[in-house]
């Protein structure tokens, strides 16, 4: 296990997650890795079922039975400068960090908000829980946070219940809650999926603005390559529970090395079109139960060789932070 580099916030290595179900063992995430540096925006892309949500939840140990994190390390630099391995801390210690130094925004704002509590209650609760600020002060902070997420009339809206807010406004409240304690890392898992296209663009702009205003890093999980093109500095492509390729956003679009990434890009005629999705690649996502050895993409890969379905792909460093896991690029 190596230490963190300067300006590095998080470094995950060898993260493996399995679900022990009656149908068999689900190989949800295998040997996945990820780095996040201060102030950058990182995108994690891949088709449905590729392991994006499970991987990012595993970063802070958020895996419930029958799931289990089998191995891996997740080094994280805390606000006070100390470096910890999130997978080695006690559940209480991780809970202290989650919602405070690392926070999540999930896809569905309705399930993140309790219908019996106001917008202000939600925000104030996370403030009092992590910082011990008195409720009255926390509610005043909530108003200013609602202003930060561009909710009009925040003094009025702070007293609204979820059903009194539109879907876009609810997601803004969820984001306000997530940033209430000025996290070093905000993890947003498909934060705009259930919103209409105009609202999606507004929420993404908001996340970008907040990243610079709050000096935090952003890890954005998405199906949508248009979103990647617009928001990410660096990209990780996931397939079948593994990282297939990583590079800066320019390299991913200009010279993708993994056949899967190439097909993804070809399935999106115009990466700036927000509504395109990735589902149009021939074949289906692999069944993660009873995974065979070899590259998970081999059955769908137009360039697959005999070795591809026999042995796991090698990690090939193409330089400049561009890494691909593919036999086609193996040095012979
Ligand atoms: N509680 C669970 N029990 C069993 N299998 C699970 C559980 N949660 C997730 N999985 C499996 O883990 C795999 C990865 O799922 P995950 O939700 O991480 O995919 P994803 O890339 O986030 O997909 P999407 O884009 O649809 O959100 C899938 O095969 C899924 O069925
Ligand atoms: Ni997901």
User: 128 lies in a domain?
Assistant: no
Q: What is the pLDDT of residues 268-312, one digit of tens each?
A: 655 555 444 444 566 666 778 878 889 999 999 999 999 999 999
Number of structural domains the chain divides into: 1
State in Å: Cα 110 to ligand 2 middle. 16
Whose C-alpha lies nearest to ligand 1, atom 27? Answer: 48
Instruction: For ligand 1, say whether the CB of 21 is within 6 Å of any of its atoms.
Output: yes
Confirm whether 2 is domain-assigned.
no
Tell me what ipTM this predicted complex has. Answer: 0.99
Q: Is the CB of 296 under 6 A from ligand 1?
A: no
Which one is predicted more confidently, 292 or 241? 241
Rounded average pLDDT over 8-16 = 98
- For the chain, the three-class secondary structure string (H helix, E strand, C coil) is CCCCCCCEEEEEEEEEEEEEECCEEEEEEEEEEEEEECCCEEEEECCCCCCHHHHHHHCCCCCCCCEEEEEEEEEEECCCCCEEECCCCCHHHHHHHECCCEEEECCCHHHHCCCCCCHHHHHHHHHHHHHCCCHHHHHHHHHHHHHHCCCCCHHHHCCCCHHHCCHHHHHHHHHHHHHCCCCCEEEEECCCCCCCHHHHHHHHHHHHHHHHHHCCEEEEEECCHHHHHHHCCEEEEEECCEEEEEEEHHHHHHCCCCHHHHHHHHCCCCCCCCCCCCCCCCCCCCCCECCCCCCCCHHHCCCCCHHHHCCCCCEEEEECCEEEECHHHCCC
Q: Does residue 183 have its Cβ closer than 6 Å to ligand 1?
A: no
Q: Is the pLDDT of residue 97 over 90?
A: yes
Q: How far is the CA of 275 from the centre of ligand 2 (A)?
A: 17
Domain interval for residue 320? 8-101+183-329
CA dihedral of 43, 48, 52, 57, whole degrees rounded to 10: 130
Average pLDDT, the chain: 91
| Domain assignment of residue 70, yes or no | yes
CATH number at 320 reads 3.40.50.300
Residue from 54, 106, 242 whose mutation best tests the ligand 1 pocket (most atoms within 8 A of CB): 54
- The model carries a pTM of 0.94
In a domain, 126, yes or no: no
How far does residue 193's CA lie from ligand 1's centre (Å)? 16
Q: For residue range 105-118, what is the model confidence (pLDDT) as tens digits?
A: 988 777 889 999 99
Domain membership of residue 152 (yes or no) is: no
pLDDT-based confidence at residue 146 (cuts at 50, 70, 90)? very high
Instruction: Please indicate, yes or no, if residue 193 is contained in any of the structural domains.
Output: yes
Distance of CA 140 from the midpoint of ligand 1 (Å): 39
Judge whether 164 lies within some domain.
no
147 found inside a domain: no
Residue pair 274/200 in contact by the 8 Å Cβ criterion: yes
């Amino acid at each position: 296990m190596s230490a963190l580099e300067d300006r590095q916030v998080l470094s995950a290595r060898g993260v493996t997650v399995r679900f022990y179900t009656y149908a068999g063992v689900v190989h949800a995430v295998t040997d996945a890795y990820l780095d996040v540096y201060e102030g950058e925006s990182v995108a994690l892309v891949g088709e449905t079922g590729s392991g994006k949500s499970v991987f990012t939840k595993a970063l802070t140990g958020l895996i419930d039975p029958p799931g289990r994190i089998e191995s891996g390390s997740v080094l994280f630099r805390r606000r006070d400068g100390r470096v910890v391995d999130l997978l080695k801390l006690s559940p209480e210690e991780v809970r202290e960090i989650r919602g405070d130094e690392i926070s999540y925004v999930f896809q569905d704002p309705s399930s993140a908000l309790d219908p019996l509590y106001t917008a202000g209650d939600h925000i104030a609760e996370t403030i009092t829980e992590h910082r011990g600020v008195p409720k009255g002060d926390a509610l005043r902070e909530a108003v200013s946070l609602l202003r930060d997420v561009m909710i009009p009339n925040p003094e009025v809206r702070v007293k609204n219940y979820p059903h009194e807010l539109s879907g876009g406004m609810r997601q803004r409240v969820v984001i306000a809650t997530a940033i209430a304690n000025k996290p070093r890392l905000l993890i947003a898992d498909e934060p705009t999926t259930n919103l209409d296209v105009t609202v999606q663009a507004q929420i993404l702009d908001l996340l970008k603005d907040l990243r610079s205003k709050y000096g935090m890093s952003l890890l954005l999980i998405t199906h949508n390559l248009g979103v990647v093109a617009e928001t990410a500095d660096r990209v990780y492509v996931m397939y079948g529970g593994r990282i297939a390729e990583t590079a800066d956003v320019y390299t991913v679009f200009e010279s993708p090395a993994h056949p899967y990434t190439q097909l993804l890009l070809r399935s999106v005629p115009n990466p700036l079109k927000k509504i395109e999705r990735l589902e149009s690649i021939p074949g289906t996502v692999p069944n993660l139960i009873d995974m065979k050895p070899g590259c998970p993409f081999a059955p769908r890969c137009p360039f697959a060789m005999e070795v591809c379905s026999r042995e796991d792909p090698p990690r090939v460093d193409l330089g400049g932070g561009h890494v691909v896991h593919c036999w086609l690029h193996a040095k012979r």
